[in-house]
Amino acid sequence: MPQEKERNRRVILASRPTGAPTEANFRFETQPVPKPGDGEILLRTVYLSLDPYMRGRMSDAPSYVAPFAVDEVLGGGTVAIVERSNHADYRQGDWVVSQSGWQDYALSDGRGLFKLQGPVLKHPSWALGLLGMTGFTAYMGLLDIGDPQPGETVVVAAATGAVGSVVGQIAKLKGCRVVGIAGGEEKCRYAEEKLGFDRCLDHRQDDLAAQLKQHCPDGIDVYFESVGGKVFNAVLPLMNTKGRIPVCGLIADYNSSGELPQGGDRLPLFQNAILRKRLRVQGFIINQDYGDRFEEFFRQMSQLIRLEINDRE
Amino acid sequence: MPQEKERNRRVILASRPTGAPTEANFRFETQPVPKPGDGEILLRTVYLSLDPYMRGRMSDAPSYVAPFAVDEVLGGGTVAIVERSNHADYRQGDWVVSQSGWQDYALSDGRGLFKLQGPVLKHPSWALGLLGMTGFTAYMGLLDIGDPQPGETVVVAAATGAVGSVVGQIAKLKGCRVVGIAGGEEKCRYAEEKLGFDRCLDHRQDDLAAQLKQHCPDGIDVYFESVGGKVFNAVLPLMNTKGRIPVCGLIADYNSSGELPQGGDRLPLFQNAILRKRLRVQGFIINQDYGDRFEEFFRQMSQLIRLEINDRE
């Protein structure tokens, strides 16, 4: 279904899903393409980011980001092109990162836009990945909280995900030993062969803890947490003194009922590890905590990508 | 029993205690007072610090500090006076902070000593409290990890202890609302009337969580943790977004068996709070983490004490 010049197709959140979303939770509608007023620009969506956090925002349970509104267009980061401009800072043909959401066209007064310039224009979709929110999350969590040093061991949960894959690659560039954890042999092979991780372990194997210990002979200095659950259990005993744990997600718990899991209480175990190993454990939400450093990230990350590409050529 | 000029009385760790220590774990002995060699000084102990961490060091279970050796004199921070000196940097009559331990006299080659100078000489024992290890713990944990801002709410566990009492007073000087938690009405009165806390709550009351909520109407920005257990349980739900939790101890768990407590597993609750509230939780051990900043602390803290005394005059 190609985009049309006169019609704006939009996907609306019709109702909040319970469990896995179904088609009934969404409504498809079309509108005339809106016209920009004074100081406004018309954006045409070219790329739309689809991310795990969106499921959370479809619910209205308390979460770390505001829920999507029912009967409104679904939100989401996009790479868009300026079709018409009544704004001094934008011209037709400019590429921008915007929050246009699930629709062909959107108006903007320029606030919150990020104009793409320079080499990234060869790969504008990267502005939603490596050079976008997920890359930004990886970069800031790893470097600002994790502070990895050459020779240290970095363990990355969800190693082949949009965030984890970037965490591991940056850690390699910083001279770290990188051990990923992912679900299944295929993902693990990808992490080792394509992403260049030193090792990637399958969390579906029963002996994850033993394998992790074997492949982290010097312990773990940084654990990039996005999963929780049994991966965390395997990691904690291996954390080194002064270790750092940036926490950007806890997928293993996203569907929990809210009741305390039965079995022993592991909280004191964690607290004791924090004290005795002098760990730093820190949660972060990329835009709230680091929103003002996006340009710094974009510049530095562009540099890392170019360096890496040059190395391989 | 006054000190003598010729005899050095020493308390030796005879055996490691199980549970509460008894007299049988200690041995009292005397030696001739040792003579300083070239480059050495003879120290006479004037004040000896007695601290909770010492119990831990009497055991050889893995801990965050090395255990005391059996058949050696018990360790501990002291304020001592130089009796004889063959060291260019020290003269008879100088006051120093040392680690002479539980004995009247000790030799030193000057390493690890801290010479007392200036106004603190009026109160040399302060070098073991407010201006010593416990004050240093309070100062660095609160200011470096807790980073309290004017108007924020700081909650202090073990509020009348050597560390907690200083944490709360510094937080007051920084313009924070300070709520202490202590065991018993008398301690709480002391914290409010003498230490100047805004409020101090008795953790022996059944409704601690409800009281804490009532007296922290704007939530908690910094929780200075030295206790764990039920105090932590009451604090966690009240932590604000971007809250900080410096962890310098976990007294509630010090005597635990090592088995997981029964009942629900609160670990995911804590992990979720870290993520959703973007908390920073960080353990520290004062000398290992901040040993190189002792002089800075001593200078700044001397300043705070003087300021405070002036304010009250």
Q: What is the pLDDT of residues A192-211, one digit of tens each?
A: 999 999 999 999 999 999 99
Whether the pLDDT of residue B144 is over 70: the answer is: yes
pLDDT, residue A222, reads 98
pLDDT, residue B312, reads 55
User: Are residues A288 and B271, on separate chains, in Cβ contact within 8 Å?
Assistant: no
Q: What is the second-level CATH architecture of the domain B7-125?
A: Alpha-Beta Complex (3.90)
Q: Mean pLDDT, to the nearest integer, of B187-198?
A: 97
pLDDT of A25-39, one tens digit each? 999 999 999 999 999
More reliable by pLDDT, A40 or A61? A40
* CA separation for the pair A226, A220 (Å, rounded): 16
Residue B300 binned pLDDT confidence (cut-offs 50, 70, 90): very high
* CA separation for the pair B173, A53 (Å, rounded): 42
User: Are residues A260 and B263, on separate chains, in Cβ contact within 8 Å?
Assistant: yes
User: Are residues A274 and B62, on separate chains, in Cβ contact within 8 Å?
Assistant: no
Q: Mean pLDDT, to the nearest integer, of B111-116?
A: 91
Chain A residue with Cα closest to B247: A275
Three-state secondary-structure class, residue A221: strand
Interface check for A24 against chain B (CB to CB < 8 A): the answer is no
Chain A residue with Cα closest to B145: A280
pLDDT, residue A257, reads 52
User: Are residues B271 and A279, on separate chains, in Cβ contact within 8 Å?
Assistant: no
More reliable by pLDDT, A253 or A283? A283
What stretch(es) of chain B map to CATH 3.40.50.720? 133-297
pLDDT, residue B1, reads 67
* CA separation for the pair A184, B26 (Å, rounded): 58
- Closest listed residue to residue A182, CA positions, set A279, A240, A251, A284: A251
Interface check for A276 against chain B (CB to CB < 8 A): the answer is yes
Q: What is the DSSP letter of A160?
A: T
User: Are residues A264 and B259, on separate chains, in Cβ contact within 8 Å?
Assistant: yes
Q: Of A113-117, A214-218, B47-51, B263-267, give the lowest mean pLDDT range.
A: B263-267
Whether the pLDDT of residue A224 is over 80: the answer is: yes
More reliable by pLDDT, B89 or A302? B89
Whether the pLDDT of residue B306 is over 80: the answer is: no
pLDDT of B70-86, one tens digit each? 999 999 999 999 999 99
CATH class of the domain at A7-128? alpha beta
* CA separation for the pair A7, A5 (Å, rounded): 6
Q: Mean pLDDT, to the nearest integer, of A154-175?
A: 96
Whether the pLDDT of residue B64 is over 80: the answer is: no
More reliable by pLDDT, B253 or A127? A127
User: Are residues B281 and A281, on separate chains, in Cβ contact within 8 Å?
Assistant: yes
What stretch(es) of chain A map to CATH 3.90.180.10? 7-128
For chain B, give the mean pLDDT. Answer: 91
Whether the pLDDT of residue A312 is over 80: the answer is: no
Long-range contacts of the stretch B292-297 (C-beta < 8 A, 24+): B293/B140, B294/B114, B294/B136, B297/B135, B297/B136, B297/B139, B297/B140
pLDDT, residue B259, reads 67
CATH class of the domain at B133-297? alpha beta
Nearest by CB to A260, which of B248, B264, B283? B264
pLDDT, residue B313, reads 45
For chain A, give the mean pLDDT. Answer: 91
Among B65, B280, B281, B288, the strongest candidate for a mutation testing the A interface, having the largest count of A CBs within 10 A, is B281
Window 279-298 of B, Cβ < 8 Å to A: 279-285, 288-289
pLDDT, residue B307, reads 64
User: Are residues B272 and A250, on separate chains, in Cβ contact within 8 Å?
Assistant: yes
User: Are residues B283 and A282, on separate chains, in Cβ contact within 8 Å?
Assistant: no
More reliable by pLDDT, A61 or B163? B163
Chain B residue with Cα closest to A268: B253
Longest CA–CA separation in chain A, Å: 64
Whether the pLDDT of residue B169 is over 60: the answer is: yes
Whether the pLDDT of residue A93 is over 70: the answer is: yes
Whether the pLDDT of residue A47 is over 70: the answer is: yes
* CA separation for the pair B223, A195 (Å, rounded): 40
Chain A residue with Cα closest to B268: A253
- Enumerate the residues of chain B whose CB falls inside 8 A of the CB of residue A277: 283
Asked if B223 and B235 count as a contact pair (C-beta separation under 8 A), the reply is: yes
What stretch(es) of chain A map to CATH 3.40.50.720? 133-303
- Enumerate the residues of chain B whose CB falls inside 8 A of the CB of residue A232: 271
pLDDT, residue B50, reads 87
pLDDT, residue B117, reads 86
- Enumerate the residues of chain A whose CB falls inside 8 A of the CB of residue B262: 264-265
- Enumerate the residues of chain B whose CB falls inside 8 A of the CB of residue A271: 228, 232, 247, 250, 253
Window 39-68 of B, Cβ < 8 Å to A: 62-64
CATH class of the domain at A133-303? alpha beta
pLDDT, residue B225, reads 95
Q: Cα B204 from chain centroid?
A: 23
Asked if A182 and A188 count as a contact pair (C-beta separation under 8 A), the reply is: yes
Interface check for A107 against chain B (CB to CB < 8 A): the answer is no
User: Are residues A266 and B267, on separate chains, in Cβ contact within 8 Å?
Assistant: yes
CB half-sphere exposure, B249, CA atoms < 13 A? 22
pLDDT, residue A178, reads 98
* CA separation for the pair A202, A189 (Å, rounded): 10
- Closest listed residue to residue A227, CA positions, set A164, A163, A157, A286: A157
* CA separation for the pair A66, A53 (Å, rounded): 11
pLDDT, residue A313, reads 45
Whether the pLDDT of residue A66 is over 70: the answer is: yes
pLDDT, residue B256, reads 56
Q: Of A150-164, B10-24, B151-165, B263-277, give the lowest mean pLDDT range.
A: B263-277
Rg (CA), chain B: 21
Longest CA–CA separation in chain B, Å: 64
User: Are residues B278 and A283, on separate chains, in Cβ contact within 8 Å?
Assistant: yes
What stretch(es) of chain B map to CATH 3.90.180.10? 7-125
User: Are residues A265 and B270, on separate chains, in Cβ contact within 8 Å?
Assistant: no
Q: Mean pLDDT, to the nearest integer, of A267-287?
A: 92
Q: Mean pLDDT, to the nearest integer, of B126-144?
A: 94
Residues 6+ away with beta carbon under 8 Å from A270: A236, B267, B270
- Enumerate the residues of chain A whose CB falls inside 8 A of the CB of residue B53: none
